[in-house]
Structure formats: C-alpha cells, structure tokens
Amino acid sequence: MQKSFLKMIENEKFKYIGVKELGNLVKSDFCPRCFWYEKHFGPFPSFFPGVFNVIDRNLKNSVWLRWKKERKLPEWLRVENVEKVLTVESIGVVEKKHGQKYLVALHKKSGLILRGSPDLILKLKDNTLHIIDFKTSQFKEEDQFFPMYEVQLNGYALLATKMKVSKLSLVYFNPTNEIPEEIFTKENFMLNFGPKIVSVRLKAELITELLMRAKEILESKTPPPPRDNCKGTCFYIERILKNFKK
C-alpha cells in the first residue's frame, strides 16, 4: 500500500466507504472524477424526497412489531424457514454515526472500511442469514438500478462477519397502478403498495473488485479523467474553477 494512501485513510472520509457509495461504481453513468471530488469535498446536497425514508422506516417497524408480538412476519413478507429477526449487533461489528448504528468491516486487501445498515436481517432455521433490503419503487424485469442494489446487498453480506449469509433479497414496493374511481371519493384516501420479492445472488468477489477500484481512484493525487460527456459533480466544479481563473 502506498504511503500517500496510508496517509489518506487516516481521514475518515477516505477510510470509510458506504455500501451505497460503492454501488455507484456500477452505474452506467459512473464518473471516477466525480467520485474523487465527492470523497474529497463531499457530494452536492441531495433533494431526495423524505417520504421514501418515512415509508422505509414504517416498513421496518411493521416487521419488528409483528415479530415482537406474534413471533412471525407480516403476511406481505413471505419468507420461509425464519427462526428470528436479528439486530445489527448480532451479526457484526457496529459503530454509531449521527445517532444511527452501522455495521463496519475492514477489507484487508483494499485497506478500506465498508459501512452499511441492512433493512432487515433474518436468522434462518439452518443458522444462516437472509438479508433483505426494501425499495419503494416499481419493479421492472430490466431495472437499471438493479446492479447498484446487488452491490448494496452483497456489501451487507460482507459486513455480516459473525454469521454466514445464505440468501439475499430485494423487496420492491410497487405503488398501485390503477385505483378504482370510488376510492378517490372517500375522505381517507389510501395509496396501496404491492410487494415483490426478488432474489439476489451472492457475489463476494464483486465487492472486492469494486473496493479495489475505489482504492485505485482514491490513491490518485490529482482528479482522474472524467467520464465522457459527464454532467455531474466534476462538470460543475470544473466550470467553477475556470471562472475563478479568469
């Protein structure tokens, strides 16, 4: 490992990489220059609608409450051979950041520390784990975001250092496409969501490949070349820098 990189990982923003950050590396419009800038200076503010965070939180709470009261999962979550719903502390090393608990694990080959928090962790009857991630979006056979979700779930599998992971799944919550006309006339209008469970293959080698690529980008002392026709973070930073030079 180069001395420059050893010095860099002393800084938390270089040492840690989130599973969602890592998932960005497989996006079709991934730009290494944007990634370099964002790890050095932070990403531009995101205006992601807060309603999705509320939905995700309620989904997780509904599973926990049902399990706590009846020792079974909600009817909409059809998963077999479940013995117990687990907390993050049960499966790996946990750190707290901004009041939230995250699983962390050092990836020795890259020297980076992976960080993330799965939506749901199920212990199966064969003493292995089934890790699940919720997505409030419409399921499509060819989902452009699926490769990114695949990385996220496999990242969670790597973070489960105390137990073996045997299954990974996405649960898409599709907003109901057609709503009967009479529903709109009711005072308490409710939008329904239909769950769709999709299995995800275990790919440990994928996480290693992406962490090594992230390390290579971060080792660069100067910003790497941008993606062709990139209109992301690096595009705007370059424009700002050019204006300052005038």
- Chain segment 187-235, per-residue pLDDT in tens: 665 666 778 899 999 999 999 999 999 999 998 989 999 999 999 989 8
In a domain, 186, yes or no: no
In a domain, 185, yes or no: no
Structure token digits, residue 242: 């050019």
In a domain, 123, yes or no: yes
Percent of the chain with pLDDT over 70: 83
pLDDT in tens, 4-48: 544 544 566 668 999 999 999 999 999 999 999 998 888 777 665
Instruction: List the helix and strand counts (H, then E) for the chain.
Output: 9, 9
CA–CA distance, 156 with 169 (Å, rounded to integer) = 11
In a domain, 34, yes or no: yes
Q: Who's near 68: CB < 8 A, 6+ residues apart?
A: none
In a domain, 37, yes or no: yes
In a domain, 183, yes or no: no
Q: Who's near 83: CB < 8 A, 6+ residues apart?
A: 123, 124, 125
In a domain, 40, yes or no: yes
CATH number at residue 162: 3.90.320
Q: Give buried/exposed letters for 39-67 (b at 16+ CB in 10 A, else e).
A: beeeeeeeeeeeeeeeebeebbeebeebb
Instruction: Report the domain count for the chain.
Output: 1
pTM of the model: 0.86
Q: Which domain holds residue 216?
A: 3-176+192-245
* CA distances, 127 to each of 66, 83, 86, 198 (Å): 21, 8, 12, 22
Mean pLDDT of 88-110: 93
> Around 22, how many Cα atoms within 13 Å sit in the side-chain half-sphere?
31
